[in-house]
Structure 1
Amino acid sequence: MSDMWAAQLVAPSTFTDVRVPAPSPAALAPGEVLLRVRAGAICGSDMPLFKGAVQLQGGLGNHPDGAPPGPGCPMHEVVGDVVASRHPGFTPGTTAVGWALGQDALAELVVTEGDSLTPDDGTLPPAHAVVAQPLACVIYAVERMGDVTGQRVAVLGQGPIGMLFSHVLKTAGAAHVVGVDRVDRSEQARTFGVDEPVRASCDRWVASLAPADRPHVVVESIGHQVGTLGCAVDAAADGGLVYYFGVPDDLVYPVPMHTFFRKDLTLRAGTTKDRGRVLRLAQHYLREHPSILDAYVTDRLPMTRVQEAYDRAAAPRAGQLKVVLEA
C-alpha cells in the first residue's frame, strides 16, 4: 500500500508532518468518495481540537470519543478531485466540494460521504470554491429562521461565519443588521451588509441597548464558551428568535430561563442537513455575489504551512477572515 502526507497534531496547537498509509479505492464503502485535496478552509469548530480539547461526545471520523485526533485532523471544509467513487453522483476526474466527515482533510487524500458533497464546475479557484461549504451551513440556518424581511437582526461574532450570516440575512431582506465583535470589523462591514458594526464584547453591547433597539433575531456565532448564549437571550426583543450556531464545546449550556420565559423567545440550533441541496444553493449564491470572495478569503497559504495557518486562525485580527490552505 502506498503512503501519503498528512498533518498530525502531536500536542495542543502543534502540528508535525507524517507519512501514513493512503486510503485504498478498493476499500471504499457504498456511498463513499475518495478525494485528492485541492484546498481546505479552517473553521471555528476546528479550533477546540487544534487547541487540545478532548472529544467528549459524538467523536468525528478518525478520532472517536476521548481519543486524540488522528492524521489529517482537524479540517472538514474541502475541495478535491475525485480519485475513486462508490457514489452515483461522482465519477473519477471530476471535482467536488463539501464536508470531509472525518474532519481529516489535512492530507493528500481523504475519504468522505458523497451525500455531503456536490460537484464543482471549476469556475472558481479551489480557494474560493471551498467557501460554498460554510456558506451552505449559513443558508440552511437562515432558512430555518423563517421570513426575516424588514426585521432588525444582530449577529454576535463577526468572524468568517458571522460575516456570512450578516450578508445572507441582509440579502434575505433584514432591515437592519448589527454586527458585534471584539475585533474591529469595520473594514469588511459594508461589503457584508452590516449596517451597524459594533466593536465591543457582547455583554457590554447588550448593556447599552435601548428597548427600541433590541433585535428580533439574534444569531450567536461566537461559540466556544457558554456565556454568550445568555447575551443573545438578554439582547433579543420580546417574541424574538435566538439562533445558536455551531458545534457546542460543552455538554450543558446555562440559559437565563426567567428572561427567556418572560420574553416569550424561541431558541433554535442544529447541524446542517440536506447538504447536497444547500451546497448547490451556496454555489449559486457565490455566482450572484462574487464580490464577497476576495473580501472573505483573506489568507491563502500552501498546505506545507499548516502550523502558520492554524496559528493565524486561532488569533483573529482586524482585516482577517477566512484562512485557506491550498495543495
Structure 2
Amino acid sequence: MWAYTITGPAACARVDVPTPDEPDVPDGHVLLRVLAAGICGSDLPAFRNGAFAATPHGTAPGAGFPLHEVAGEVVVSRDGTLPVGARVVGWAPARNAAAEYAVVEGAGLLPYAGHLDPAAAIVLQPLACVVAAVGEHLPAFAGRDATVLGLGPIGMLFAHVLKAGGARRVAGVDRVDRSDLAAAFGLDDVVTASTARWVAGLAPAAARPDVVVEAVGHQVGTLTDAVAAVADRGRVLYFGIPDDPVYPLPMEQLLRKNATLCAGYTREKRAALTGAAAHLERHPDLAATYVTHVLAMDELQRAFELADRPAKGQLKIVLTTP
C-alpha cells in the first residue's frame, strides 16, 4: 500500500509498505481504509523537526506518521461494536493515518452520520477534545465571560462550544486576524495581537475574564499570560500541547487570585465523540465553516506548509484519499 511519512525537517514523502491484513489487527482494533485525515497543531512539531522529534530515540517514524485525526471505512474488525463496512471517525493513536490503510484502536472511533462526507466528519475528532475538556473542567461557565488564547482550529472550536453553552461574552486573542470568522464561531471580541501584548495592555482595573482557555501550546509564555489575565476566583484551562515536561508557573498570581488551573486531555474518547456528534447535530453548519481546505493526500507536503503558516480565513486542513 502507499503511505506518507516525515522524512526530515519540513519534509515528507510517499513510501510503499506491506498492506496490513487480518493477522495484523489486534483484539479491540480495526483495519481502516482511510478516507480522510486532518492536520492537528500537535502534528506540526514533528513536521518542522523531522524524525528526531518524531520518536523518543530518533528512529525513523513509521508509515502514515504523524496524522492522528482519521475518518475511514472498517475493512477488518476485531471490535464487536464496529462492523465491517462502518464509516467511522476518531483517533489513530499510532499517528499512522497518512496512509491507504491504518490499524486503529476501536475505542477511539465512532460511526458518523451518513450525510457527512469524510472531510466534514473529521471535525468530530477535534470537537470531541473540546467538548470533553469543557464538560469536565468548566462546569459553570454559563453567564460568565471567557477568553480563548489562540484562535487556530482548536481555539475557534472552544469559542463555539463556550458561546453555544451560554457564555455571556467570548473573546479571542491571536496574532492572525480572525475577525472574518468571529460571528460564525460565537466570538464577541477579537484581538489581533500576541497574548503577551494583549495582557500588558489590560488596564489594572479592567474587567478580567472568568474563564481563560490556553489553546496555543508548544511554549511556556502563553500559560503565564493566561494566569495574568484571569479574574479573581477564575479558571484557566490549559489545553495547548506542551513541548517541555516542566513549565514555569506564576504561582503567586495564581494563589492570590484564588484561581484554578486545570488541563484538558481526552480519556474517554468514544464518549467524547458522541458528545461532539450531538453538538454538530445542533449546529450543522459548523463543519463547512471549520474545514477551510481539502487537499488530496498526495499534497501532504503542501498541506503541512499551509498549516505551518496560519493565515486569515484558514482553519482546518483535511487530506482525502482517492
How big is the shift at 1:16? Answer: 1.0
Distance in 1 (alpha carbons) for counterparts of 2:50 and 2:227: 27
Contact 2:151 2:178 in 1 (8 A): yes
Q: Verify: 1:191 aligned to 2:191, yes or no.
A: no
Contact 1:49 1:69 in 2 (8 A): no
Change beyond 3 A, Cα 1:215–1:246: same
Matched letter for residue 234 of structure 1: A
Matching residue within 31, 36, 45 for 1:34: 31
Matched letter for residue 197 of structure 2: R
Matched letter for residue 86 of structure 1: R
Aligned residue number for residue 110 of structure 1: 102
How big is the shift at 1:65? Answer: 4.9
Distance in 2 (alpha carbons) for counterparts of 1:121 and 1:100: 19
Matching residue within 285, 300, 304 for 1:306: 300
| SS of 2:265 mapped into structure 1 | coil
Matched letter for residue 16 of structure 2: R
Aligned residue number for residue 267 of structure 1: 261
Aligned residue number for residue 130 of structure 1: 122
Q: Verify: 1:278 aligned to 2:272, yes or no.
A: yes
| SS of 1:213 mapped into structure 2 | coil
After superposition, the C-alpha distances for 1:129-180 in whole angstroms (9 at most, x for unaligned) are 1100000000001012111111110000001000000000001110010110
Aligned residue number for residue 155 of structure 1: 148
How big is the shift at 1:69? Answer: 2.1
| SS of 1:318 mapped into structure 2 | coil
Change beyond 3 A, Cα 1:155–1:261: same
Distance in 2 (alpha carbons) for counterparts of 1:156 and 1:319: 18
Alignment length (residue pairs): 319
Distance in 1 (alpha carbons) for counterparts of 2:287 and 2:242: 27
Q: Verify: 1:72 aligned to 2:59, yes or no.
A: no
Q: Verify: 1:13 aligned to 2:7, yes or no.
A: no
Compute the RMSD of aligned alpha carbons. 1.4
How big is the shift at 1:53? Answer: 6.0
Matching residue within 51, 54, 75 for 1:83: 75
Change beyond 3 A, Cα 1:21–1:115: same
- Structure 1 gaps of 5+ residues are none
Contact 1:29 1:86 in 2 (8 A): yes
| SS of 1:191 mapped into structure 2 | helix
Matched letter for residue 72 of structure 2: G
After superposition, the C-alpha distances for 1:38-96 in whole angstroms (9 at most, x for unaligned) are 0011001101111116778xx8xxx4554342221110000000010111111111111
- Structure 2 gaps of 5+ residues are none
How big is the shift at 1:286? Answer: 1.1
After superposition, the C-alpha distances for 1:95-142 in whole angstroms (9 at most, x for unaligned) are 110000101100001111100001123211110011000000000010
Aligned residue number for residue 96 of structure 1: 88
How big is the shift at 1:213? Answer: 2.2
